[in-house]
Structure 1
Amino acid sequence: MLEHDISTAGAIANLSTSELAFTDAHRLDRRRFLQLVGMGIGAGMVAGPGTSLLDSVLAGGGNTSWAAGPIGPEDGILVIIGMHGGNDGLNTVVPITDGTYYDHHGALAIPAAETLPIDATTGLNPALTALKDFWDRDQLAIVEGIGYPNPDLSHFNSMAKWMSGKPTGIPTSGWVGRWLDGHLGGSSDLFAAAEIGTTLPLHMLGRSARATAVPASRPSFGAGTRESDLREYETIRSMNDDALGFWPREVSQAFVDQLDVAKTIGPHIPDELPETDIAASLDVAARLINANLGFRVLSAAWGDFDSHAGQPDMHPLRMAELNEALLRFFDVLNAQWASRVTVMTYSEFGRTSHGNDGAGTDHGTSAPHFVFGEQVRGGRYGQRPAIAGLRRWDRMGHHVDFRDYYGSIIDGWLGGDSTEVLGRTTEDLGLFAAPPSSPAPTLPPDRAGDFVPIEPKRLVDTRFGTGAPKQKLGPGGTLVVKTAGIAGLPTKGVTAVVVNVTAAETEADTYLTIYERGVTRPLAANLNPTAERVMGNLVVTAVDDGGEFVVYNNAGSTHCIVDIAGYYSTSAASRLSPLVPHRLLDTRDGTGTAAGRVRGGQTIDVVVAGRGGVPATGVKAVVLNITSVAPAGPGYVTVHARGAKRPGVASLNYVPGHDIPNLVMSRVSADGKISLYVSDSSVDLVADVVACYSDDVGTRHMPVTPARILDTREGNGAPRARLGRDSEVILRVAGRGGVPANASAVVLNVTAVAASAPGYITVYPDGVPRPLAANLNVGVGDTVPNLVVAKIGADGNIRLYNREGTVDLVADVNGYFI
């Protein structure tokens, strides 16, 4: 049982500890394990008393499960500042003409002449110059008399009520956490909200979602760049093996997640930060906003404000610390975020109007709080509680319920449902003059590119020493592929290339990651080859200024083949028009050609112009998903413009027993046709068009470093559950993984994992009927990737449909069109 007058620190500690089921090890997931070690519970057994196994607490998986990405163009960011211990509201917003204040507070009262006057009756604490500047710009709302019915004078109890957003009942979740529940719709996102600190307080914990805890310092573990650090990190990653069992897997995954998050956040945090806790926390908060990682809520708190004694020294120091922190925050914050950020304050209660015999004040009830930012409607709100007639131990009444305070911010700034979050209808205080308005920062315009299709050409074949040493790519090995000045590509102005990457003679199950040279290898996969099976996949990858990209092999050894089919250039060329997928060819039923299997050595021609949304004239290239169905033996398909010389490369490799898809970008002949050549063995072919390129209309490609935005195994982007038969996932794309809200299409590598039955996956824009098309075809137990160019729905979402059995889905974003 807690003492009624528990200390501020004790209250915070008790309200920052999540439920932990020590009796059932399998209920301790990665998220909770990280909270355990981050808060020192169990850390003493490993790292010694008073230390933590990790530098920060992470709410769930890292970039293996969640990917940082920009916020949407109409999204606001809320920064919450907690003043723990109970702030003296009368010495913060000073009633300079109220003689009773001076009588009750006595020597603690601030002379009117020393305050920062905001009107004839009120002055701000003399230290709060930053807030006075906001007041002068009509951007500071002072909400007076905030409290709740039947106030509690215990730090713990009152803090629990404020953090939960509910004045009654036993709190099991917090108001920001419940907003996250609705915002994320049952999925998880590491970069939606964060507490700057090493524990997660109650208000940041929802029923299903929770924030991340980010330390107010540069992460030391996971952010090192020395060769010894990198070797250590790779060793830790290699220990993450399902075969080790539950506990070793969970512990190793916890460390892997820490590595991933430290790598994302670490580069944005400097080694030197302000000395005071709140200034350091707000410095970090500003840098996380500048980085545009997707955070919608950032929270920080400090104290102690519990001024039972020594208030003449304590409270002015807290006010000076707050002012220093605000000045630092807005100095670090980039100006482009000014209309996107609102700051609010809270404290578990105010202080008594009467001073006590120890040169302090005692636990009170209602108090004023601040909301400020460029879009805030400045002014005084609520009502200052009357103090005339209050006896020594009387407390001030409240005029604004804290649920109305929270609700006005949830609805006015976060776009959330305050009724659902707070459990009742709330009164809108009208705190905002305008919603968030500035466009979200975008990538540099010189990265945008137009498409130049070329006849496919081979760049690399390690089997024969073409473009690389004549040897397999070993485990953990990398291969640098140069494109500038090769295969007809220019030496400058290339932003990304379209390549078909094939793994052959693979010795062990592995994955390949393709990424721009010079950037940190992303936690994504483009290809999942298995032993002794040839597997290819189309890849759109950014290249560095020298036109180079990297191929990484995770395990075993494999030969690597790279064929280029086009590139994106800063010079004017073709632009993409995304389409709802449409079937142009199916040799099984005679769609697009005569019915019947295609024989080995045979070429068929397919009309694409004027079909499936492709213009009848002016089309330069098409984006097709080609699928080989029930091949009689091994072979490959080559797709090219009709009438052009057939290139000596493969667009798709097939083997018996598997229906294999691959995305293809192919030039179109002047009469609007393409050709498909089958090398060996008979096979049925299916082709679905998903986009086309023209010179006079369309959108430009923008490459991004690959980032994971969906993983149903981890609850990233969708609930943590396998997708069932005849079921869909609605995936939010806009504002995630580097994709802005106004993108028209997204480039994704979609992987179906461990399918339980033969079937297919269809990816299409939200808001339209599901088309008769397939992007992936899977067999029992298969893990199959395929590149997808998907038109984005008007609401910023796409849908992924599973036809048969159950399957996990993973999606890594590689770029977008805008």
Structure 2
Amino acid sequence: MEFGRRNFLLSVIASAGLYGCNPGHLQNVRKLPLADTGKRLIIIELSGGNDGLNTIVPFSNDNYLRNRPTLALKKTDVIKLNDETGIHDSLSKLADLYFNGEVAVIQGLGYPSPNFSHFKSTALWHVGGDGRKTFHEGWIAAASQEFMPNAAAHGISFSDEMGPFFHKDGVFISARDVNQLRDIKLGEMSEDKFQSGAVSVVAKRALSLQYSVKALQKHLNHRHQHPDLPDGALGEQLAEVIKVIQSGAPVPVYAVKLTGFDTHSNQYYRHRRLMRELNQAVMDTRNELVDSGHWDSTIILTTSEFGRRMMENKSRGTDHGTASPHFIIGGNIRGGLYGEAPNLNDLARNEDIKLTMDYRAVYNSIIEDYFSVKSKFKRFRDRRLQNLFIGTTGNKIKYT
């Protein structure tokens, strides 16, 4: 079958989104390992701006209690992590993992000159930018290629977000589910169809995608039984991630998303429901990967475009804010509280919470300390994260 450029593009658009592809990837993907033997990252985006103060809660802080007359969580509404800080009681399963050393809470994450637009701040988090400088490539895209150059795909998104994966090279795929990945049809072409010049470049990219998709489908066509997959909006996306991981397909990074965090009004029960959904989906994912032996080589990172302000508004909600805590969850990390909780007695203008750690310090730690590849965020390296990942320093934690 002759494989034209137009037919190639149409077939991709009709099935799933495939982004970027360096012709050099063609040689690598032919050497594809039989199974994934590397580490992997799952990014959970909490879209809308998660309220960090009601996630990791300063339950004894007078300013917090006074400024949130209907939203503040009392001691009875949290699970205490220490004498000053608790975790939302709807995150009870994450609390269990925290006390088992499998959850790290990175406090006070943000960036200088914050942007309060959902679209712009999300874009900044996707590329590792801030209010003064931005980049044009997804923050993890280059690192995923360096870590696993012969991956079937360097990243798969089961949400509508490809931001962390934007890159001119590599193979990054957006799909609704695993069935859609199995059904991608790119047609057939061979290297003897290559020509010189620009047409050859297009053909090599198409052929590289063809090899990648076939390699991915080879793993996915071996169907596994998954009796206890998570459900719900987030759980269904994570269920697809689990299927790919347990198929043995070499894919280092996955992206999923939970929406609904823009809680300008009636926040209390809306946020509680979202916390409950995150809690269950993460624990179900963890249990599935423990059973299949993949948990110790997996980490989960939560992100959100910004936090919320300390003061609740007249609609019993909170408005767009700045710094917020995030989670890194995994079977081979050193859990605990990292960094400093924001000082609620020393707020920025507009009652915004001041950051205590640049969020790109987390990106740098994942790239350098977890994946052990070169990081473009090296200047944000933070010593407070240096012992986060097992294998960087110290001895492996023994879990019960």
Which bracket does the TM-score occupy, shorter chain normalised?
A: 0.7 to 0.9
Counterpart of 1:58? 18
Provide, for residues 416-437 of structure 1, a one-character-per-residue CA deviation record: whole Å limited to 9, x for no partner.
222xx22635224124352299
Match of 1:91 among 49, 54, 63: 54
Q: Does 1:411 align with 2:371?
A: no
Match of 1:213 among 161, 164, 174: 174
Q: Aligned runs of 1:662-677 on 2, under 5 Å?
A: none
Match of 1:309 among 265, 278, 289: 265
Distance of 1:414 and 1:252 partners within structure 2: 28
Distance of 2:348 and 2:370 partners within structure 1: 40
Counterpart of 2:156? 194
Change (3 A) 1:356 1:159: same
Distance of 2:40 and 2:300 partners within structure 1: 9
Query: Offset at 1:219?
Result: 2.8
Counterpart of 2:379? 424
Query: Offset at 1:117?
Result: 1.3
Query: Offset at 1:237?
Result: 4.7
Q: Aligned runs of 1:539-550 on 2, under 5 Å?
A: none
User: Secondary structure of the equivalent of 1:106?
Assistant: coil
Distance of 1:358 and 1:250 partners within structure 2: 56
Q: Aligned runs of 1:344-743 on 2, under 5 Å?
A: 344-388=301-345, 390=347, 393-418=350-375, 421-422=376-377, 424=379, 426-428=381-383, 429-432=385-388, 434-435=390-391
Kept in 2: contact 1:190–1:212 (CA 8 A): no
Distance of 1:348 and 1:367 partners within structure 2: 9
Counterpart of 1:322? 278
Q: Which amino acid aligns with 1:169?
A: K
Q: Does 1:69 align with 2:34?
A: yes
Counterpart of 1:139? 102
Change (3 A) 1:220 1:70: closer
Q: Which amino acid aligns with 1:195?
A: S
Percent identical among aligned pairs is 24
Kept in 2: contact 1:410–1:416 (CA 8 A): yes
User: Secondary structure of the equivalent of 1:124?
Assistant: strand
Q: Which amino acid aligns with 2:283?
A: L
Query: Offset at 1:284?
Result: 2.0
Tell me the number of residue pairs that the alignment of Structure 1 and Structure 2 aligns: 377
Distance of 1:103 and 1:372 partners within structure 2: 32
User: Secondary structure of the equivalent of 1:372?
Assistant: strand
Kept in 2: contact 1:82–1:300 (CA 8 A): yes
Provide, for residues 218-273 of structure 1, a one-character-per-residue CA deviation record: whole Å limited to 9, x for no partner.
338639xxxxxxxxx8xx85799988x97x98999788976764453254477996
Q: Aligned runs of 1:216-231 on 2, under 5 Å?
A: 216-219=177-180, 222=183
Match of 2:299 among 331, 342, 353: 342
Distance of 1:312 and 1:264 partners within structure 2: 43
Counterpart of 1:293? 249
Q: Which amino acid aligns with 2:93?
A: A
Distance of 1:70 and 1:263 partners within structure 2: 11
Query: Offset at 1:88?
Result: 0.1
Counterpart of 1:515? none
Q: Which amino acid aligns with 1:264?
A: H
User: Secondary structure of the equivalent of 2:390?
Assistant: coil
Q: Aligned runs of 1:243-322 on 2, under 5 Å?
A: 261-268=216-223, 274-322=230-278
Q: Which amino acid aligns with 1:69?
A: L
Distance of 1:242 and 1:358 partners within structure 2: 66
Kept in 2: contact 1:60–1:190 (CA 8 A): no
Q: Aligned runs of 1:769-780 on 2, under 5 Å?
A: none
Query: Offset at 1:288?
Result: 2.2
Change (3 A) 1:337 1:274: closer
Q: Which amino acid aligns with 1:345?
A: T
Query: Offset at 1:33?
Result: 6.1
Q: Does 1:107 align with 2:52?
A: no
User: Secondary structure of the equivalent of 1:352?
Assistant: coil
Kept in 2: contact 1:80–1:343 (CA 8 A): yes
Q: Which amino acid aligns with 1:427?
A: D
Q: Does 1:203 align with 2:160?
A: no
Distance of 1:218 and 1:302 partners within structure 2: 21
Distance of 2:129 and 2:191 partners within structure 1: 43
Kept in 2: contact 1:143–1:380 (CA 8 A): yes
Counterpart of 2:138? 174
Kept in 1: contact 2:301–2:329 (CA 8 A): yes
Distance of 2:312 and 2:191 partners within structure 1: 62
Change (3 A) 1:281 1:63: farther
Kept in 2: contact 1:85–1:155 (CA 8 A): yes
Query: Offset at 1:178?
Result: 2.3
Distance of 2:19 and 2:187 partners within structure 1: 19
User: Secondary structure of the equivalent of 1:180?
Assistant: helix
Distance of 2:340 and 2:260 partners within structure 1: 26
Provide, for residues 609-651 of structure 1, a one-character-per-residue CA deviation record: whole Å limited to 9, x for no partner.
xxxxxxxxxxxxxxxxxxxxxxxxxxxxxxxxxxxxxxxxxxx
Kept in 1: contact 2:361–2:377 (CA 8 A): no
Q: Which ranges in structure 2 are unaligned for 5 or more consecutive residues? A: none
User: TM-score scaled by structure 1?
Assistant: 0.42
Q: Which amino acid aligns with 1:411?
A: E
Distance of 2:205 and 2:114 partners within structure 1: 43
Distance of 1:334 and 1:432 partners within structure 2: 20
Distance of 1:415 and 1:191 partners within structure 2: 19
Distance of 2:266 and 2:178 partners within structure 1: 31
Which one has a larger percent helix, Structure 1 or Structure 2? 2
User: TM-score scaled by structure 2?
Assistant: 0.81
Distance of 1:398 and 1:294 partners within structure 2: 36
Relative contact order (C-alpha < 8 Å, sep 6+): which is higher? 2
Distance of 2:389 and 2:147 partners within structure 1: 23
Change (3 A) 1:34 1:160: farther
Compare CA radii of gyration and give the structure with the larger one. Answer: 1
Counterpart of 2:87? 124
Change (3 A) 1:210 1:309: farther
Q: Which amino acid aligns with 1:123?
A: G
User: Secondary structure of the equivalent of 1:85?
Assistant: coil
Query: Offset at 1:375?
Result: 2.1
Q: Which amino acid aligns with 1:196?
A: F
Q: Which ranges in structure 1 are unaligned for 5 or more consecutive residues? A: 1-24, 38-52, 224-232, 439-818
Distance of 1:181 and 1:391 partners within structure 2: 39
Provide, for residues 380-428 of structure 1, a one-character-per-residue CA deviation record: whole Å limited to 9, x for no partner.
111111223659932110010112111122222111222xx22635224
Counterpart of 1:816? none
Change (3 A) 1:269 1:176: farther
Provide, for residues 99-120 of structure 1, a one-character-per-residue CA deviation record: whole Å limited to 9, x for no partner.
2111112211222112111111
Q: Which amino acid aligns with 2:162?
A: P
Change (3 A) 1:188 1:378: closer
Kept in 2: contact 1:204–1:211 (CA 8 A): yes
Query: Offset at 1:295?
Result: 2.0
Q: Which amino acid aligns with 1:400?
A: M
Which one has a larger percent strand, Structure 1 or Structure 2? 1
Provide, for residues 115-158 of structure 1, a one-character-per-residue CA deviation record: whole Å limited to 9, x for no partner.
11111111111111221111111232111111111111111221
